[in-house]
Amino acid sequence: MERSLVMTTEEAAWVARAKAGDQTAFAEIFARYERRIYAFVYRMMGNADDAFDLTQETFLKAYRALDKTDEELNVNAWLHRIASNACMDVLRRRQRIRWLPWEGAKHERSSTRREDDPEETLIGDETQQLVGKVLAQMSPRNRQAMVLREYEGLSCEDIGEIMGVSRSAVKSILFRGRDEFRRIYQQLEGQR
Amino acid sequence: MDCRAVRPLISAYMDSDLTPAELRAMQAHVATCPDCAALLDGYRQTRSLLRALPQPLPPARLRPAVFAAATPAYRRRAFFIMLGQRGLTAGAIAVVLIAALFTASLFLRTATNSNVPPQLVAVDPPPGVSVSPGQPVRLTFNKPMDELSVKNAIVIDADPPLSQQERVQLVQTAQWDDKTNTLTIGGGYGFQPDHDYTIRIDPAKAHDRANTPLEVAPAIAFSTSNVVPANPSPTALAAGPPFTPTPVVTPTGTVAPTATEPAAIAAVSPTPPATSALPVTAPAPTVTATPKPANPPTNPPPASQEPPAPARTATPTPQPPAPTATPEPPAPTATAVLPTATTAPPTATAAPPTPTAAPQLPYPVVGSFGTLYQASPKVRDGLGLPSGTVATAPGAYLAFERGAMFWRGDTKTIYVLFYEQPGVWYAFADNWTDGMDPGGGAGPAAGQFYPKRGFGKVWRENEDVRNRLGYALAADETAGPLTIQPFDHGLLLARDAGYVYVLYSNGVFERYQDPGK
């Protein structure tokens, strides 16, 4: 099930208040998106340290950029875009995809099952680690699209807005990303 | 249509992004092409794998870290907004800016000095807002503080007023985080609903690690909503905040966590609890009293709802002696009684109960107990398997300066918990009867009391207990049922106050906040 990025009236009010300097409004934005952004960054980077640092950086950048936003701001897409850019910057600086031990087991888990997707199946820790390794070995751009689409369930339009590309470009990236995921998955699974 | 042309369509099909004609062509091809059918299955499997990944939760320190860092920007923003709202001219703004830059340069010079005074720089939630009673308050400082001094400097006022006991309990929730220089107060069920709170850090007491006193900081005022979170189902609990080890306070106010496991549930170390901290030289407690709650149940306490596990008498030594056949300690010099744990060998491989895995356990572990037992390998490994079902017993509770006492009506037992590092507990037989001296009365200082009846008798007759607990914080006990479940190596104990106590057989206890309360 796709998740909508449509801004709610409530969010519009938060943005207006936050732009006016009301820190409680920013706190409400943070409360709503903290978990989602952290999870996205975690899946992009593969470890809790980066997820912490880059989620913090995302919200600080968002806070400082509130002045420059317009009243029609799509908060979810905006925060994801900032987070995506932060992740890509770090990955570029490292010149390679860094793989740190998968730390899924270190986290509290809000739920191992998503209520909005009856098709999903529970997977074991071993498979979770394998999926994490696959993501870590994917090209950052393909991984970004795959995490947004297949992990977060966002639509191609929303992904295009976040990645700054057209809808048709998103389709191409997802096509490549799906193939890349499967290729690496099968390769790693064969090594087990 | 060949496979190379169909594959992008299969991917687009996963995104519901095909025209009707493309959809028909794709489906016709897949129906006759095993390779492309396998590809479609592969895409579906990829989706299932990714969507089945757990959602990692951000650590609790993220929020204060963000807001501590955002605060200077917030102040700058508020400053310029204020200027704009007051209609200052560009020239005036320039003058103010120059003055601000000058001030900032002075500040920066000062800030590089290790003697820069400690300041409270951020508060979460922001002052003046209404928060949930379960939401903690986080105070962030500009530098590392002396933890003990800050905790001792906490001043809490509330309207309606808190009892001394409630105030002490709230202060005891304070936790210091060195990574973010943040003091967290409350959380779980720390604050009372529908109250107006004012929290202040007394600058006369709080100082940094160079003994530089805290700059005077304004009081933090906020209100709590009257919405108390309902006790969620086990599934909902798993999605909510984790059980959090609650710190206990030593006689000098030093907070020492009763558990070493971090906040993250899955990060809980599976290490069994520490070995017994019972003092070898501690005098054997002499029990001749039977505690009686201030408001005892109108009905006589029922007989134990569990098959009476073989009670063990033991002197408080690091390793409890082998259990004896004596179900009750000999009066009048009963020694500390270890919990109603059986002598079954440890079974550290108990699988956490899940709604579908419950039959794996000899007895179900449900509700808050089940959530904790499932979430914490440490608790699970330390307690072993449940040796009985959960039961409710008449009970009473009394807070002390450095610990607490629980009275358990069904087995006539008094549990004495010392808030030490690690937490240590004793159990005493309950032999107090009507007609004995009830004791009680005001203590030597305001807010201090002599415990009454059975609690008082244990307290008076055991110097070690008296010295380690300090005075009672209320004149009377609080009566209320206890929820108890025995395990092979200890028991779980709770009353309706938002905490779950884990009493291990080796004499160590831990306290956890119950997010469902």
- Please provide the DSSP assignment of A46-102 as one string: -SHHHHHHHHHHHHHHHHHHGGG--TT--HHHHHHHHHHHHHHHHHHHHSS------
One-letter identity of residue B418: F
Rounded to 5 degrees, φ, ψ at B104 are -65, -40
Helical (H) or strand (E) element with B484: strand B482-487
Where residue B404 falls (left for φ over 0; alpha for ψ -120 to 50; beta otherwise) is beta
| Nearest chain A alpha carbon to B64 | A56
Closest CA to B252 of B398, B400, B152: B152
Q: B192, B162 in Cβ contact below 8 A?
A: yes
Nearest to A108 among B8, B51, B57 (CB): B57
Q: Say which residue the tokens 């796709």 belong to.
A: A2
Write out residues 157-176 of A within 8 Å (CB-CB) of B: 171-172, 174-175
Q: What's the count of helices (H) and strands (E) in chain B, helices before strands?
A: 12, 23
Helices (H), B324-410: 367-375, 377-383
Say yes or no: A71 contacts chain B, CB-CB below 8 A.
Answer: no
3-class DSSP assignment, residue B155: strand
Q: Going by C-beta distance under 8 Å and a sequence separation of 6 or more, which residues neighbour residue B98?
A: none
Beta bridge pairs of residue B123: B139
Q: Most B CBs within 10 Å: which of A2, A26, A50, A108, as the mutation test of the B interface? A: A108
CA-to-CA dists, residue A81 to A8, A51, A163, angstroms? 18, 15, 7
Q: pLDDT tens string for chain B (517 positions)?
A: 789 999 999 999 998 888 889 989 998 999 999 999 999 999 999 998 888 888 788 888 888 888 877 765 555 554 554 455 444 445 555 555 555 554 444 444 434 344 577 888 777 766 566 677 777 788 888 888 888 888 888 888 888 888 777 777 788 788 888 878 888 888 765 787 777 888 888 888 888 887 888 877 767 777 777 654 333 222 222 222 334 444 333 333 333 333 333 222 222 222 333 333 333 223 333 333 334 433 433 333 333 333 333 333 333 333 333 333 333 333 333 334 333 333 333 333 333 333 333 346 888 898 889 888 888 888 888 888 888 888 888 999 999 988 999 999 888 889 999 887 778 888 888 788 888 888 888 988 888 899 999 999 899 888 888 988 999 998 888 888 999 999 888 899 998 877 889 998 778 888 887 756 5
Do residue A128 and residue B54 have CB atoms under 8 angstroms apart?
A: yes
- Report the alpha-carbon distance of residue B400 to residue B421 in Å, rounded: 16
Q: Is the ipTM of this complex over 0.85?
A: no
Say yes or no: A188 contacts chain B, CB-CB below 8 A.
Answer: no
Do residue B264 and residue A104 have CB atoms under 8 angstroms apart?
A: no
Report the first-to-last Cα separation within chain A, whole angstroms.
32
Do residue A105 and residue B266 have CB atoms under 8 angstroms apart?
A: yes
Q: Going by C-beta distance under 8 Å and a sequence separation of 6 or more, which residues neighbour residue B384?
A: B344, B346, B347, B348, B350, B487, B488, B489, B490
- Rounding to the nearest 10 degrees, give the CA dihedral for residues A3, A8, A11, A16: 140
Rounded to 5 degrees, φ, ψ at B512 are -125, 145
Q: B87, B208 in Cβ contact below 8 A?
A: no
- Report the alpha-carbon distance of residue A186 to residue B397 in Å, rounded: 59
- Report the alpha-carbon distance of residue B362 to residue B12 in Å, rounded: 51
| Nearest chain B alpha carbon to A111 | B239
Q: Going by C-beta distance under 8 Å and a sequence separation of 6 or more, which residues neighbour residue B227?
A: B132, B133, B193
- Predicted confidence (pLDDT) per residue in A89-100, tens digit: 888 877 544 444
Quick one: tokens of A78? 């905006």
Listed in order, strand segments (DSSP E) in B225-300 are 244-245, 247-249, 255-257
Rounded to 5 degrees, φ, ψ at B207 are -150, 165
> b/e per residue, B437-473, with b = 16+ CB within 10 A?
eebbeebeeebebbbbbbbbbbbebbebbeebbbbbb
3-class DSSP assignment, residue B495: strand
Do residue A156 and residue B11 have CB atoms under 8 angstroms apart?
A: no
